[in-house]
Amino acid sequence: MHSSSEILLQRCADLVIKSDTPKGRGVFATKDIPAKTIIDICPVLVLGLQENVDHIEKTSLYHYTYNWPTTSENREIKVAQAVILGLGSMFNHSTQQQNVVWERDTDRLIITYRSIRDIHAGEELCISYGNHLTFKDVDAPSPLSPEEELEQFNQIHLE
């Protein structure tokens, strides 16, 4: 039994960090991981709104922070930034192969990462960063060629 001031930590053991990927370092499975497995529970450090603008946005940490809802002094809900301590900061983004989801716990200041489908040994564990990326996505779907666009257009049948 854990008291309310204790957070039970959990991390899937079957993981490695590879450093030679087109996305830099990334987290990969060494064994098959079933859907709904807890991958990691990470504590977070919530940054002050002004601290973020004055300092963090000017550093490479800017590429590692997550949006974090917070209440300002006049009780307004604001979006702050949080640094994810631990493995959470190592997950790369994939629009097409996302296999991990994450959930914020704003009371306990943690993020829980879970597999959303079976992940095979050797696969990279990827989350979604959303639509506003600050880098060129190396596995974004390639844009259609003019010929492919024309073919797609010709397949549209108007009623």
Ligand X SMILES: C[S@@+](CC[C@H](N)C(=O)[O-])C[C@H]1O[C@@H](n2cnc3c(N)ncnc32)[C@H](O)[C@@H]1O
Query: Checking DSSP bridges between strand 92-93 and strand 126-127, what pairing results, if any?
Result: parallel
69 interacts with ligand X by CB under 6 A = no
Q: Which of 117, 88, 85, 90 is nearest to 103 (CA)?
A: 88
Nearest approach in angstroms of CB 10 to ligand X is 21
Q: CA-CA distance, 15 to 57, in Å (whole number)?
A: 30
Q: Which is nearer to ligand X, 24 or 122 (CB)?
A: 24
Task: Yes or no: say if 8 and 32 are a contact pair by the CB < 8 Å rule.
Answer: no
Neighbours of 92 (CB within 10 A): 20
Q: Which is nearer to ligand X, 141 or 146 (CB)?
A: 141
Binding mask 115-154 for ligand X (x = CB under 6 A): -------------------xx-xxx---------------
Interactions with ligand X, residue window 8-67 (CB under 6 A): 23-26, 63-64
Nearest position to ligand X, beta carbon: 24
Q: Which is nearer to ligand X, 20 or 147 (CB)?
A: 20
Q: CA-CA distance, 62 to 81, in Å (whole number)?
A: 9
